[in-house]
Amino acid sequence: MLRRLLVPTVLVLALVEHAATGWAQPSERIQPTPGFAWDQAKVSDLTQQLVDGVVALRLEFAKQPAPAAGSNESQTYFKVSDDLRLIESESRELASRVAKGASQDESFPIYDRLRTMIRDARMDALQQVLQPSVLDRRARVRATLIALDPYYNGPGTR
């Protein structure tokens, strides 16, 4: 019985994740670029874009109707909502520190924690049916993270 329930759930989750990539072929997806030398102005701009994107994602997610109270979906919905609140707070902290001149080494712990929080939220969100507008906002945040990542994790940056 459990297997009959898990197989459709896994397929739905795979479709949701695939839809988030815009149904693009692997060669068309945004690929991480090699590491970049630290550029304070560029990183500051990207971290502010990240804040703006996360705020838009959180607001768009909040527009979705909450599942029935007491259901597993309801608990997950509110967990994702709280994940987004925490990600927004951490994104603001990163942007603020970088805007004030924090170096790569100084801001890396915040960035690293933020990436972990985003991965955890992504796993929680896989249990939700997300509206296309939420998927679009999530894809925009992902694109900003992909642009920011080489400044923290590329070859020659650490």
Burial class (CB in 10 A: 0-12, 13-18, 19+), 113: middle
* pLDDT tens string 3-35: 444 444 444 444 344 444 444 444 444 444 456
d(CA 120, CA 35): 25
* pLDDT tens string 78-99: 999 999 999 999 999 999 999 9
- Residue 133 amino acid letter: S
CATH topology of domain 37-153: Four Helix Bundle (Hemerythrin (Met), subunit A) (1.20.120)
Q: Does the model's pTM come out above 0.85?
A: no
Nearest of 13, 8, 6, 3 to residue 123 by alpha carbon: 13
* pLDDT tens string 141-158: 999 999 999 999 865 555
